[in-house]
């Protein structure tokens, strides 16, 4: 199984990496105007430093789309990055507060280490509060993965089918596009393992998952969740 997935990864990498830099998506300041629904919650997943800043800024711009008792969910385990003094979650929290978001409007989901866990744990928190209309802030390729996980989970019955996801897009860099080649392979593998009854923690600690992450970090030369 490990060899099969690694071969699939290499084929996909060789096919796409040469052209990944040809289609850079420019950020649109008007992106926040696309939302037509008031939201119960907005999920802001943690990432690398630049992603955290962009997601927090764009998330704060969407404040007017939250319902009266709407809130933000900062999703990600407590991580420290060597060149940043504050944690990822605190960076996002500070940026939201700077935009006059009240502390009572910010919830912390602190268990997730990857996008699959972002979905499972954040939606669980939101479900407990009765929310159904949910915005997620990230770049387009990452939001595609969120969509894949949520649609798969709704089909399999472990995500509430009444939940509706609304995309809140930031800009997508060439590195983001390259990263998604690896991330999509891992995403499909993790969903298959989850369907087989493994927990997110068990999947995250599998040797194949760890090895692909090592290859990804070596190729990209930067840290990203």
SS (H, E, C) 19-37: CHHHCCECCCHHHHHHCCC
The CATH architecture to which 2-23+31-220 belongs is 3-Layer(aba) Sandwich (3.40)
Of 33-37, 58-62, 130-134, give the lowest mean pLDDT range: 33-37
Domain ranges for the chain, please list them: 2-23+31-220
**For range 42-66, the mean pLDDT:** 93
pTM of the model: 0.80
**For range 188-215, the mean pLDDT:** 89
pLDDT value for 34: 52
- Confidence label for 224 from pLDDT (cuts 50, 70 and 90): very low
* Contact status, residue 115 vs residue 139, Cβ threshold 8 Å: no
Element (H, E) at 67: strand 66-75
pLDDT one-digit tens code per residue, 136-175: 999 999 999 999 999 999 999 999 999 999 999 999 998 8
Q: Is pLDDT at 20 greater than 50 in this prediction?
A: no
Cβ neighbours of 86 (radius 10 Å): 13
């Amino acid at each position: 199984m490990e060899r099969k997935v690694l071969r699939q990864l290499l084929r996909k990498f060789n096919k796409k990496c040469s052209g990944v830099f040809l289609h850079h998506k420019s950020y649109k300041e008007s992106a926040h105007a696309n939302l037509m629904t008031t939201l119960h919650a907005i999920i802001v997943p943690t990432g690398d430093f630049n992603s955290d800043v962009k997601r927090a800024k764009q998330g704060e711009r969407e404040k007017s789309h939250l319902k009266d008792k709407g809130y933000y969910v900062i999703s990600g385990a407590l991580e420290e990055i060597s060149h940043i003094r504050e944690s990822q979650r605190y960076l996002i929290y500070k940026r939201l507060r700077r935009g006059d978001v009240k502390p009572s409007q910010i919830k912390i989901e602190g268990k997730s280490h990857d996008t699959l866990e972002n979905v499972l744990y954040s939606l669980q928190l939101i479900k407990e509060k009765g929310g159904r209309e949910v915005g997620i802030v990230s770049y387009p390729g990452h939001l595609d993965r969120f969509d894949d996980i949520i649609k798969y989970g709704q089909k399999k019955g472990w995500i509430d089918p009444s939940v509706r996801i609304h995309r809140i897009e930031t800009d997508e860099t060439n590195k983001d596009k390259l990263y998604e080649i690896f991330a999509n392979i891992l995403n499909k593998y993790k969903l298959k393992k989850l369907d087989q009854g493994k927990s997110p923690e068990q999947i995250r600690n599998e040797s194949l998952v760890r090895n692909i992450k090592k290859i990804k970090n070596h190729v990209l030369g930067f840290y990203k969740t």
